[in-house]
């Protein structure tokens, strides 16, 4: 049982994690941070894909500055305390990235600050026309680079676009996010949940090892030193996935059909 999340299994092989503080636009407080880390660390082995979304009209409005709970350093706190807090928050996108299973972020509304960091760490991002994105830290006099954003965002939308968004802190509409490639699909609000489940369910029908090795290859080869290193990893992954009974059964079925 969780206080700030809804965790459901609507389809075989699919886990849906819903941020559930709708009255605060699903802002991250200390309890949500802890529950997300625990949930991501304990995804069952029979789950092949994860959907991450928000309850109500927002995806996530970032850190709850008014009611985070214990652990937020005050203005007089030493820098080391602020560093430890930043490290605890940065553990959230790292937990998503380190999941064996691919994560589909279904962005239903405002996706700001720490919420944007969660979204960027996902493997697939789709959004409704009601979504909006923003990097808010720079508007508060802080660095616009936090929680993995300066790593993920340029790789997704390119350095120039990332610099625009991160240096200005401006709100990015769902349509601009779609045009710039931040999301792979833009859907009507009433279609978002169903479409995210369709994508996750399609992944869940595939061989789990093949899915997991594909996720890892995409992550590693984004930063590969060159084509040779990328191909070396791909070759190894193909050999490993080919040797499974699941893959053999799927090849036989494919040949029959």
What confidence tens digit (pLDDT) does each residue in 191-200 have? 999 999 999 9
Residues 107, 222, single domain; the answer is no
Residues 32, 68, single domain; the answer is yes
Average pLDDT (100-121) is 98
Distance of alpha carbon 22 from alpha carbon 39, whole angstroms: 19
Residues 10, 103, single domain; the answer is yes
CB-count burial class (<10 Å; 0-12, 13-18, 19+) for 245: exposed
Distance of alpha carbon 54 from alpha carbon 114, whole angstroms: 13
φ/ψ of 187, rounded to 5, equals -130, 165
Residues 92, 154, single domain; the answer is yes
**Does the structure show a pLDDT above 80 at 248?**
no
- The pLDDT tens digits of the residues spanning 18-73 come to 999 999 999 999 999 999 999 999 999 999 999 999 999 999 999 998 889 887 88
Q: What percent of the chain is modeled with pLDDT above 90?
A: 79
Confidence of residue 238 (pLDDT cuts 50, 70, 90): confident
| Global pTM value | 0.93
- CA-derived radius of gyration, the chain: 19
Residues 39, 112, single domain; the answer is yes
């Amino acid at each position: 049982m969780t206080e700030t999340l809804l965790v459901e299994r609507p389809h075989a092989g699919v886990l849906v994690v819903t941020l559930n503080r709708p009255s605060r636009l699903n802002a991250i407080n200390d309890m949500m941070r802890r529950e997300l880390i625990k949930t991501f660390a304990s995804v069952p082995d029979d789950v092949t894909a994860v959907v991450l979304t928000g309850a109500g009209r927002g995806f996530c409005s970032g850190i709850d500055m008014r009611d985070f709970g214990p652990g937020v350093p005050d203005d007089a706190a030493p820098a080391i305390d602020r560093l430890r807090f930043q490290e605890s928050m940065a553990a959230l996108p790292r937990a998503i990235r380190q999941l064996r299973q691919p994560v589909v972020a279904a962005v239903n509304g405002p996706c700001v600050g720490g919420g944007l960091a969660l979204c960027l760490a996902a493997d697939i991002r789709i959004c409704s026309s009601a979504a909006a994105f923003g990097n808010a830290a720079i508007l508060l006099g802080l660095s616009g680079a936090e929680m993995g954003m300066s790593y993920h965002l340029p790789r997704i939308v390119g350095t120039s676009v990332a610099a625009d968004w991160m240096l200005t802190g401006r709100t990015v509409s769902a349509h601009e996010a779609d045009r710039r490639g931040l999301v792979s699909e833009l859907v009507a609000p009433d279609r978002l949940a169903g479409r995210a489940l369709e994508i996750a369910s399609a992944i869940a029908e595939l061989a789990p090892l093949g899915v997991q090795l594909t996720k890892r290859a995409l992550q590693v080869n984004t930063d590969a030193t060159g084509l040779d290193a990328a191909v070396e990893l791909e070759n190894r992954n193909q050999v490993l996935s080919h040797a499974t009974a699941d893959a053999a059964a799927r090849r036989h079925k494919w040949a029959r059909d």
